[in-house]
């Protein structure tokens, strides 16, 4: 029971403190994450940056999920977990960016909740397994591990 990988992504304006945001992303994803910054124009014409941290190894994805902490993992587990999982067996999370730059984790539930960091975790599940059951058990195991 594991994850295939994970991605953290945030869109920022040219006015945002990229260094501070990068520090938060590096803390959340770990030092071995592949972090990239793409500069482009938004649909409204303003310059924006997309910062993405890719965790292509199972171990790195698991460590990043653990970094969310017991309280956040329990909140994810007790919320509507099935609603977080898409048809491609990905679990989606949203983290408040203001909290992240302080190296704190606060889940964001509303779509208009300020700047957010989007997390996508690829669930390792196979034919006959329900991805929500797999991620539920994985969350329980991580929470137990962190409580020791």
- Residue range of the domain that includes 63: 2-147
Report the domain count for the chain: 1
- For residue 44, the model assigns a pLDDT of 76
- For residue 54, the model assigns a pLDDT of 97
For residues 65 and 123, what is the distance between their CA atoms, to the nearest angstrom? 12
For residues 97 and 72, what is the distance between their CA atoms, to the nearest angstrom? 15
- 125: domain CATH number is 3.30.1440.10
**Which pTM does this prediction carry?**
0.91
78: left (phi over 0), alpha (psi -120 to 50) or beta: alpha
Q: What is the DSSP letter of 85?
A: B
pLDDT by 10s per residue, the chain, length 148: 689 999 999 999 888 899 999 999 999 999 999 999 998 877 777 788 999 999 999 999 999 999 999 999 999 999 889 999 999 999 999 999 999 999 999 998 766 667 899 999 999 999 999 999 999 999 999 999 999 8
Tokens read off for 87 = 């048809």
């Amino acid at each position: 029971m594991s994850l295939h990988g994970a991605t953290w992504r945030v869109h920022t304006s040219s006015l945002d403190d990229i260094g501070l945001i990068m520090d938060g992303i590096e803390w959340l994803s770990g030092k071995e994450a592949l972090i990239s910054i793409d500069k482009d124009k938004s649909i409204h014409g303003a310059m924006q940056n997309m910062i993405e941290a890719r965790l292509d190894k199972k171990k790195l994805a698991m460590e990043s999920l653990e970094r969310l902490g017991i309280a956040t993992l329990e909140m994810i587990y007790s919320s509507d977990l099935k609603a977080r999982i898409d048809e491609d067996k990905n679990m989606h999370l949203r983290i408040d960016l203001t909290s992240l730059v302080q190296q704190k984790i606060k889940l964001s539930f509303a779509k208009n909740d300020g700047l957010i960091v989007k997390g996508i975790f690829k669930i390792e599940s196979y034919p006959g397994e329900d991805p929500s059951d797999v991620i539920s058990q994985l969350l329980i195991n991580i929470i137990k591990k962190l409580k020791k």
